[in-house]
């Protein structure tokens, strides 16, 4: 089901997850893609080497520049996102930082929404500032504020969709239009949405980033990242990967490839359970507020409903409790594990104030919107009724 870049794939996300980007057959008539575990590739003759160097033959030369198993992941993600190409990396952050570095240079201006992942924010506001790259932070989802800070030096606008942990959803059509008017590139981290629920390129976004560690791989057993988009832009990012060496290991690539096969099924279950969980906790008297884009109470529900096919597997809610009581609620849960990350088959739960912002005081955490009683629940693929009963039982500990 591998298609040329100009051919539109009209199959569903479930079918693309299984067959997208793949040829009809592999070596030795294998049904699945082999793990090509090699650091370098040999040439039979000097003439073969010359042909490769001249560009008349397409093949691999060295493991840092490419690997067939890694390439299979790239082609599948490109098919899922409906774009021309993709480049895979050894982690989500390697993908994010390489994409940013490929698109900006000294004296450039970068805009981030204030609720971007804190490590992405740290990279732009701290690391890039050393090299003369300026930045602006705008309020979550505020496109009027985005327009006000755009200049002729703005080269890149970065957002997530939805964001972590408050699930802000931005109007991608308007965001891409603003970027094009200022001749800036747009980059969306779509890890929370997955290509099943959202395809940002359909709304004019230039580059789409995934922490493939999460939903794409889906089993909490591998680190990986992917950048997808127009072939020219992805080529710039890939060239930088060749220099920095943040390559995806072929065995890790195989695990991602295998995980993607069930992406559609897993995300459908996680969508269903997360919505049911959001509705449950929203109705509970000891829950002060819930953030889930599938709820009418979410401030960006209309945008999410317009752009997304499903609302994802993460539910964030604030308990009517202090930090200690919130911890007792989490400890009372019997099914999810206490851990960072999301998108795997196992449900995970965390208290962001402790998991990500432990070093800050309560006042400092509240200043960045991380309340002590905040809970982020990343739904797995367990039975919906079992998870709901477990949460209901734990809430009695408050």
Q: Which CATH architecture has domain 13-260?
A: 3-Layer(aba) Sandwich (3.40)
Round to whole Å and give the CA distance between 90 and 248.
4
Q: What is the pLDDT of residue 256?
A: 98
pTM for this structure?
A: 0.93
Question: Which residue has 């997808």 as its token pair?
Answer: 228
- Tokens 């490109």 locate to 78
Nearest to 36 by CA among 12, 1, 60: 60
Beta-carbon count within 10 A of 39 CB: 9
Q: What is the DSSP string of 19-41?
A: HTT--S--GGG-SS------SB-
Strand ranges inside 233-301, DSSP E: 287-291
C-alpha–C-alpha distance, residues 128 and 108, integer Å: 10
| pLDDT score for 40 | 96
d(CA 85, CA 103): 16
Domain positions in the chain are 13-260, 263-395
Instruction: Spell out the residues 6+ positions from residue 55 whose beta carbon is closer than 8 angstroms to its own.
Output: none
Spans in the chain with pLDDT lower than 70: 1-8, 356-369
Question: Cα–Cα distance between 87 and 99 in angstroms, integer?
Answer: 10
Two domains, one topology: 13-260 and 263-395: no
End-to-end CA distance of the chain: 52
Tokens of 379: 């739904």
Name the token pair of 134.
């300026």
What is the model's pLDDT at position 7? 58
SS3 call for 74:
helix
Which CATH topology does 263-395 take?
3.90.1150
Q: Are 158 and 116 in contact (CB under 8 A)?
A: yes
How far is it, in rounded angstroms, from Cα 267 to Cα 195? 10
CA separation for the pair 360, 74 (Å, rounded)? 39
The answer to whether 310 touches 340, Cβ cutoff 8 Å, is no
Backbone angles phi, psi at 61, to 5 degrees: -120, -45
């Amino acid at each position: 089901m591998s298609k040329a870049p100009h051919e539109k794939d009209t199959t569903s996300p479930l079918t693309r997850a299984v067959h997208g980007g793949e040829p009809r057959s592999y070596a030795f008539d294998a049904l699945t893609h082999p793990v090509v575990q090699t650091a370098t590739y040999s040439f039979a003759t000097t003439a073969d080497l010359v042909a490769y160097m001249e560009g008349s033959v397409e093949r691999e030369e060295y493991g840092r520049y490419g690997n067939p198993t890694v390439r299979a992941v790239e082609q599948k993600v490109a098919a899922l996102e409906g774009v021309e190409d993709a480049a895979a990396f050894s982690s989500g952050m390697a993908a994010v930082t390489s994409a940013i570095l490929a698109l900006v240079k000294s004296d450039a201006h970068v805009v981030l929404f204030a609720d971007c992942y804190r490590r992405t924010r740290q990279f732009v506001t701290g690391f890039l500032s050393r090299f003369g790259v300026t930045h602006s932070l705008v309020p979550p989802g505020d496109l009027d504020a985005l327009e006000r800070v755009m200049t002729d030096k703005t080269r890149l606008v970065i957002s997530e969709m939805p964001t972590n942990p408050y699930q802000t959803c931005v109007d991608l059509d308007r965001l891409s239009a603003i970027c094009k008017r200022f001749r800036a590139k747009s980059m969306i981290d779509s890890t929370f949405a997955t290509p099943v629920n959202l395809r940002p390129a359909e709304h004019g976004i230039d580059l789409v980033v995934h922490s493939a560690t999460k939903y794409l791989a889906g089993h909490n057993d591998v680190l990986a990242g992917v950048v997808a988009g127009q072939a020219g832009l992805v080529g710039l990012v890939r060239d930088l990967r060749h220099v920095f060496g943040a390559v995806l290991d072929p065995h890790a690539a195989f695990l991602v490839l295998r995980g993607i096969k069930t992406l559609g099924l897993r995300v459908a279950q996680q969508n269903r359970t997360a919505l049911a969980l959001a509705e449950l906790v929203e109705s509970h008297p000891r829950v002060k507020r819930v953030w889930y884009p599938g709820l009418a109470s979410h401030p960006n529900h209309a945008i999410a409903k317009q752009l997304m096919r499903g609302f994802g597997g993460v539910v964030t809610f604030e308990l009517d409790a202090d930090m200690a009581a919130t911890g007792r609620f989490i400890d009372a849960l019997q099914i999810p594990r206490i851990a960072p990350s999301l998108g795997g088959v196992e449900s995970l739960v965390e208290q962001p104030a402790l998991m990500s912002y432990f070093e800050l005081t309560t006042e400092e955490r509240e200043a960045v919107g991380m309340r002590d009683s905040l809970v982020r629940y990343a739904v797995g693929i367990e039975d919906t009724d079992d998870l709901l009963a477990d949460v209901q039982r734990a809430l009695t500990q408050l």
